[in-house]
Structure 1
Amino acid sequence: MLIVNALGGLDNPNAGLDSASALLQNSDEMIVDARAIADAHASGLSAVNVTLGYVMGDEPPYEHTLHELDVWDSIIEAHPDDLLKVLTADDIRRAHAEKRVGVIYGFQNAVQVGTDPSRIAEFAGRGVRIVQLTYNQANHLGDGSMAPENRGLTAFGREVVEAINEQRLMVDLSHSGEATCLEAARISTRPVSINHTGCRAVTDLPRNKTDEELRLVADRGGFVGIYFMPYLNLSGHATAEDVVEHILHAVDVCGEDAVGIGTDGSITGIDDMDAYRATLAEHTAARFAAGVAATGERSDTLPFVLDLCGPGQFRKLIRLLEERGCTSTRIEKILGLNFLAYADRIWS
């Protein structure tokens, strides 16, 4: 089965806790090593949208983004038998056929555009294929999901959407506020995506999307990816069953041709959960201090679904969808074919 993760990782989350890990490359805290690549192969993953460039923090957004583009280029160039840089939908097909993992370059913020929309063309020339307009907070393009004003796009944000359309890139509305999402979906001349989200009708948290947002994106030929994140349950401790519930609700709202997965997590599981939780508590505190944390994010919540992690995560999801009566055709669409069809519509 062709499997595409519309937002995920190729890093080993244990590597920072394990000095014996054999590093292949390091991009800040994101470590891609031999185990991470082996686990990606074992999972059946065909392609993944990896986050690179500026998301938050003190780094200069534009310069930091150029640096991370260089880093990812070097990772892929060093491992041609395992990884393939994705520029077209056919590159995903090629990665699948050649048993490699396609790496899709994506942003989770667009601050790095600065005040110059022409930078979108520069980033496209470097291989970026997905541009998420905002992170959780507001930026100069529009409001994120945690911005209390819930305003729509700014005038500059509308210029950037136009520039993204011109370069035939994906406009990703994950993390956006509701008004920003609805406006961007309406003004975009090409279908847009929400690559990693949940359904607010199932779990009422701001990182999840309303049925109106989901339906509008789907009706205009877009794509919606459901994540494996704590926001799928009000307790903050989401399970595999929660993931299935959100997928099935999204299918009910959007139709089976618009829904996929964007786990927002890595393939490799956690070896030492106690050590990981200690590190996570520090990381969460820093996110709250920086004002970028989301409602439902706490020091005791894990940024993944505990019973849907590790190389078997996709196989387990397939079994659970089968148990809920999904046909093999529907499952193949959800696991990868819907994203591939959307990529065909946007990148060609």
Structure 2
Amino acid sequence: MSNDQPVFDYAASAPWAQVVRAYGGSDELNRAIEEMVADGKRRDECWEAIWDREVRRFERDPEFRDTVKDIYETAGVNLLSVTPWVHDSSLSERVGQRRDLSRWQARFEAADWLQKVTSPREARRVPEDGDVGIVLNTQNVGAAIDGSVDEVDVLYNEGVRIFQLTYNRQNLLATGCNDPSDGGLSTFGRDVVDRINRLGGIVDLSHCGKRTTLDTIEYSEDPVAVTHAGCQTVFDHYRGKSDEEIEALAAVDGYMGIVGLPWFIAPAGERPDLDVFVDHVVHAASILGVENVGIGTDFFPADSLFPDVLLEYYKQHIIELGFDREKVERRTIAAGIDDFVTYEDWPAVRRALEERFTTSEVEGILGENFIDFWERVTDRR
């Protein structure tokens, strides 16, 4: 694929390599966290401190910014969707989202090669300019807006373009994928979908329950997306989508990005190869058509550069966010998937796709399909 082609990934966060390089290496990073803990800092405070240091280095150090650009160039990814963090409805999480929006804004202002991307037209221009584009998302609209539809406008005005209705649990809008209830889209949820449609945002159903997914596909005026999920027919996991849901998505010309986290796409205890990941892509394409399928690796927690001393904290954190305790405790975090071990190994994903799809199909899967979908969302405005 030529350099002027868009390569899109729903990646959730900046690569861990940025933090590692800010500290001078993995050993130095882990040692710094251990010293913070010894000084009485909680693990969540350590988490915030290490990301704050990365941003300060990025803002102040041109050489460091160059090393970060090298990470994306090595990965071969030039368009990413990242999450200013908010997953539940606690005040600390809402504050966390504002903090992370500020972090990303600081990065945008510091690097002339890093763009906040807010439209399909801008997305297409990113590879032409040789830049890296960032599409901001929120993974729990219910938590992010705290009961006020008008807060959707605030997020949109700050650059957020992908709006996931729920995380794993039920909120005021709808039901998540790992909630015992399956109540579907609420009246308030319809109001929020209406507002996202009016603004031209993307409605994302990745962590939503089945009833919510089907309700929203039917209700939304615009086509909707599942930006990062697997196919339950290939591996039956609650973070996947059933054929019924994928067929409904196909009926409205929607889009599906396949997630690359190994514990979502293969049984616990197994370390799948990239063929399993591509199996999910192939199955989604068999229903949606290859032109409506893309990549959403969500690779942040699978990266082998994840600090060792924070792994147990992270496991407990995501259990609190609604992931199944038994499944989480059985899984290995930060082991990558096959040859995809750190984010810089992203070209392995491309190579795996090239073994099963034609060149033009791979170009679509790697980026063109997402931008084409985004244009379908915005073309009536």
TM-score by length of 2: 0.81
1:40 corresponds to:
72
Aligned ranges 1:6-45 → 2 under 5 Å:
6-12=10-16, 15=19, 19-20=23-24, 30=51, 31=54, 34=64, 35-45=67-77
1:69/1:225 CA distance change after superposition, 3 Å: same
Q: Which moved more, 1:256-265 or 1:1-10?
A: 1-10
Give, in angstroms, the shift of residue 155 of structure 1.
1.3
Give, in angstroms, the shift of residue 264 of structure 1.
0.2
1:5 corresponds to:
9
2:87 corresponds to:
55
Partner amino acid, structure 2, of 1:323: E
For 2:10 and 2:166, the matched residues in 1 are separated by 17
For 1:331 and 1:267, the matched residues in 2 are separated by 25
1:213 corresponds to:
245
Partner amino acid, structure 1, of 2:322: V
For 1:321 and 1:291, the matched residues in 2 are separated by 32
1:70/1:286 CA distance change after superposition, 3 Å: closer
Confirm or deny that 1:254 pairs with 2:293. Answer: no
Confirm or deny that 1:190 pairs with 2:222. Answer: yes
For 1:130 and 1:47, the matched residues in 2 are separated by 14
Give, in angstroms, the shift of residue 225 of structure 1.
0.3
Give, in angstroms, the shift of residue 266 of structure 1.
4.2
Aligned ranges 1:17-166 → 2 under 5 Å:
19-20=23-24, 30=51, 31=54, 34=64, 35-56=67-88, 58-80=90-112, 82-110=113-141, 111-166=143-198
Give, in angstroms, the shift of residue 312 of structure 1.
5.2
Give, in angstroms, the shift of residue 306 of structure 1.
4.5
2:298 corresponds to:
264
SS in 1 for 2:231: coil
CA contact (8 A) 2:72 2:344 kept: no
SS in 2 for 1:293: coil
CA contact (8 A) 2:17 2:71 kept: no
2:41 corresponds to:
none
Partner amino acid, structure 1, of 2:298: D
Q: Which moved more, 1:213-222 or 1:158-167?
A: 213-222
1:75/1:162 CA distance change after superposition, 3 Å: same
Gaps of at least 5 residues in structure 2 are 30-46, 59-63
1:292 corresponds to:
322
1:14/1:47 CA distance change after superposition, 3 Å: closer
1:172 corresponds to:
204
CA contact (8 A) 1:13 1:270 kept: no
For 2:138 and 2:49, the matched residues in 1 are separated by 16
What is the aligned residue count?
A: 340
CA contact (8 A) 1:142 1:152 kept: yes
SS in 2 for 1:122: helix
1:341 corresponds to:
372
CA contact (8 A) 1:2 1:336 kept: yes
For 2:170 and 2:364, the matched residues in 1 are separated by 33
Give, in angstroms, the shift of residue 299 of structure 1.
5.2
SS in 2 for 1:257: helix
Give, in angstroms, the shift of residue 112 of structure 1.
1.6
Give, in angstroms, the shift of residue 287 of structure 1.
2.7
CA contact (8 A) 1:285 1:299 kept: no
1:328/1:28 CA distance change after superposition, 3 Å: farther
Confirm or deny that 1:232 pairs with 2:262. Answer: no
Structure whose CA Rg is larger = 2
Gaps of at least 5 residues in structure 1 are none
Q: Which moved more, 1:109-118 or 1:234-243?
A: 234-243
Q: Which moved more, 1:229-238 or 1:58-67?
A: 58-67
For 2:226 and 2:232, the matched residues in 1 are separated by 13
1:311/1:109 CA distance change after superposition, 3 Å: closer
Give, in angstroms, the shift of residue 281 of structure 1.
2.4
Aligned ranges 1:256-335 → 2 under 5 Å:
256-266=290-300, 270-271=304-305, 276=308, 278-288=309-319, 290-294=320-324, 296-298=327-329, 300-302=331-333, 304-311=336-343, 313-324=345-356, 326-335=357-366
Q: Which moved more, 1:48-57 or 1:254-263?
A: 48-57
CA contact (8 A) 1:165 1:188 kept: yes
1:269/1:149 CA distance change after superposition, 3 Å: closer
Partner amino acid, structure 2, of 1:255: G
Confirm or deny that 1:181 pairs with 2:213. Answer: yes
CA contact (8 A) 1:5 1:262 kept: yes
Q: Percent identity?
A: 27
Q: Which moved more, 1:53-62 or 1:14-23?
A: 14-23
1:204/1:29 CA distance change after superposition, 3 Å: farther
For 2:49 and 2:80, the matched residues in 1 are separated by 19
Give, in angstroms, the shift of residue 241 of structure 1.
1.4
For 1:171 and 1:146, the matched residues in 2 are separated by 19
1:87/1:74 CA distance change after superposition, 3 Å: same
Residues 97-139 of structure 1, C-alpha deviations (whole Å, 9 max, x = no match):
1111101010011112122111111211111101000111111
Partner amino acid, structure 1, of 2:295: I
CA contact (8 A) 2:302 2:333 kept: no
SS in 2 for 1:307: coil
Tell me the C-alpha RMSD between the 2 structures.
2.7
